[in-house]
Amino acid sequence: MHDGPLHGKPGSGDAPEGGSRDSVSRPPRLWLTLIASSLCIFVVQLDFLALNLALPRMASDLGTTTTDLQWVISGYMLALAATLIPGGRLGDIFGRRRMLLVGLVVFALCSLGVGLASTPSSIIVLRIAQGVGAGVLFPLAVAVITDAYPPDRTMRAIGNAYGIGALALALGPVFGGAVTELLSWRVVLLVNVPTCAVTIAMVALGVRESRDTTVPHSVDVPGLLLVILGIATVTLTVDRQQAWPPAVSAGVSAAGVLFLVGFVLRERVARWPLVSLDLFRNMPFVIITLMSTVANIAFVVAMYGVTIYLQQATGRSPLDSGMIFLAASVAAGVAAPLSGRLGERFDVPRTMAVMTVLGAVGLFLVSLGGDLWFYLPGLALTGFGYGMGWTMGSSGTQAVVPVERVGQASGVELAIVIGVAGICVAAAASLIEVRTTADGLATAIEDVLRWIAIGSAVAAAALGLLATRVVPSKRAHGSLG
């Protein structure tokens, strides 16, 4: 187990032992790096949240159902999750700035394609490709901050990046709802093109090149294929379990598990593994990642359920739904920059546990329905608690790994956090569909949200207790974990 922060990262520009960046790299322009990173996070989050509100209208225009078209959301998250590990590691190997630019170009081109596409199948395929671009962007947006900032400022800088990026949390629902209602859901996608162009310029100007100089320019291709196939197959099974015969679902699911087992076995023997498995012997990293996963599952399922509830169960328009959803998204946006500051002062796992329980209280209130005077405070608590819980995971894990492996660590943490949430969205959609037949849509969504609230609170409390036993406290040990 690694005790305490393992940053060997100096503030003067000298690489740590083994080297984390190219020796010819220019000194970082910290404010430009922060803006560039924030914009990368912004474009990914704006796209997801805005399109989430546009989903019912998109389904209507394309002649399909919202439940069937939810693969536009879960498929995107699947691709993003499957690409996070290789995306972060490719940045470590080939250059984080270079791969960040590649991810932005892919994201922009696929956004253009989705905005012009005319069939559900083509939209889903392009959304999966767009998720690949996002999977490169997300971990490297965090890693370039860790490379540029001195250790004592890293957590706050990452929190600030999420805070600026979290403007998308506030703007996304209203933007998606308003544009969908007044113009077209296609504009929600097309706006990514100029936004990505600005972001590309900021990365080119503000981010210095950095990489892990302790490894060669080689990629564990078998490991790469195994992890992508494993995550994709498992998620596909969850999404299609109602459409496939039980034997087919069981067989495909078993294949996915075998792919993931094969990935682990491959990484144990690979000379230059995609993921160094000793990362999972770092108990602060493991605990923080698990807690962030719990918070993000609850947050993402809540967003999906509330979106469908507001528009299809209560009959509100996309714009009205977006305005109501501001209570959750603005609260999550406020929580993001605070997460870095709280992480500097308090033990990360214990703070995450408290915040996740707070989010669970809010979601339980939401699950009870009722008028807006009751519903809106519940949404605000949901966004603040869960938002704080999952954003703190990114800065917390970066603080407990060696600086030369920040891309890999960010990719692994985000792959678990986002990938498991993607699977849970697909599972929640299927469960809501099944329960709707017997209980009606409103009751089905309320029941699912209630069990998510209870489950997340129990899981957070259990992980918090585990952290007190296996993770040194910050006061006693000087650790962030």
218 close to 87: Cβ distance less than 8 angstroms: no
Q: Are 140 and 96 in contact (CB under 8 A)?
A: yes
Q: How confident is the model at residue 239 (pLDDT cuts 50, 70, 90)?
A: low
pLDDT for position 461: 94
127 in a structural domain: yes
455 is a domain residue: yes
pLDDT at position 258: 93
Contact by Cβ (8 Å): 470, 287? yes
Q: 134: domain range?
A: 30-204+274-471
Checking if the pLDDT of 477 tops 70, the result is no
pLDDT at 378: 93
**Burial level of 457, CB count in 10 A (0-12/13-18/19+)?**
buried
The domain total for the chain is 1
C-alpha distances out from residue 252 to 153, 179, 204, 256, 350, Å: 46, 39, 43, 6, 38
Looking at residue 24, its pLDDT comes to 39
> Could you count the other beta carbons within 10 Å of the beta carbon of residue 252?
16
Average per-residue pLDDT in the chain?
80
Tens of pLDDT, residue by residue over 343-400, are: 777 788 889 999 999 999 999 999 998 777 888 999 999 999 998 888 888 777 777 7
What does R_g of the chain's alpha carbons equal in angstroms? 21
Percent of the chain with pLDDT over 70: 87
394 in a structural domain = yes
Least confident interval from 8-22, 207-221, 335-349, 359-373? 8-22
Tell me how far apart the alpha carbons of residues 246 and 239 are, in angstroms, rounded to a whole number. 13
Checking if the pLDDT of 120 tops 50, the result is: yes
CATH code, 333: 1.20.1250.20
Q: Which residue in 190, 257, 255, 183 sits closest to 47, CA to CA?
A: 190
Find how far residue 242's CA is from the centre of its chain: 26
Inside any domain, residue 334? yes
Q: Which of 1-10, 211-220, 302-311, 394-403 has the highest mean pLDDT?
A: 302-311
- Taking Cα atoms as reference points, which of 305, 318, 344, 321 lies closest to residue 443? 305
- pLDDT band at 449; cut points 50, 70, 90: very high
**Backbone φ, ψ for residue 399 (5° rounding):** -80, -5
Q: Give 383's contacts (C-beta < 8 A, 6+ positions apart).
A: 169, 299, 327, 328, 329, 330, 331, 332, 333, 335, 359, 362
Query: Could you tell me what percent of the chain has a pLDDT over 90?
Result: 17
Residue burial 196-234, b: 16+ Cβ < 10 Å; e: rest: beebbebbeebbbbbbbbebeeeebeebbebbbbbbbbb
Q: Is residue 14 part of a domain?
A: no
The more confident residue out of 16 and 288 is 288
**Could you tell me if residue 321 is inside a domain?**
yes
d(CA 303, CA 312): 14
Which whole-number Å values give the CA distances from 20 to 208, 270, 280, 477, in the listed order? 12, 21, 21, 26
The predicted structure's pLDDT at residue 240: 67
Structure tokens at 314: 């209560």
State mean pLDDT over 245-265: 86
More confident residue, 112 or 475: 112
Q: Are 390 and 416 in contact (CB under 8 A)?
A: no
Dump the DSSP string for 96-152. Answer: HHHHHHHHHHHHHHHHHHHHH--SHHHHHHHHHHHHHHHHHHHHHHHHHHHHHS-HH
For 140-204, the DSSP string reads HHHHHHHHHS-HHHHHHHHHHHHHHHTHHHHHHHHHHHHHHHHT-HHHHHHTHHHHHHHHHHHHH
Residue 6 has pLDDT above 60, yes or no: no
Mean pLDDT over 403-415 rounds to: 74
Q: Does residue 318 or residue 315 have the better pLDDT? A: 315
7 part of a folded domain: no
**398 and 140 Cβ atoms separated by less than 8 Å:** no
Q: For residues 287, 290, 294 and 295, what is the CA-based torsion angle, rounded to 10 degrees?
A: 60
18: left (phi over 0), alpha (psi -120 to 50) or beta: left
- Whether pLDDT at 215 is above 80: no
The answer to whether residue 345 sits within a structural domain is yes
Q: Which of the listed ranges 74-78, 188-192, 228-232 does the model predict with the highest average pLDDT?
A: 188-192
| 73, 207 contact by CB (below 8 A) | no
**Amino acid letter, 231:** I
Full-model pTM: 0.73
Helix (H) or strand (E) holding 3: none
Please state the rounded mean pLDDT for residues 42-59: 78
pLDDT over 70 (residue 35): yes
pLDDT at 50 over 80: no
DSSP single-letter state for residue 371: -
Residue 128 CA to residue 110 CA, distance in Å, equals: 9
DSSP string, 9-65: --SSSPPPTT-SS-TTPPPP-HHHHHHHHHHHHHHHHHHHHHHHHHHHHHHHHHTS-
pLDDT of residue 463: 93
Helix extents (H) in 309-398? 318-345, 348-367, 372-398
The tokens describing 116, both together, are 């012009």
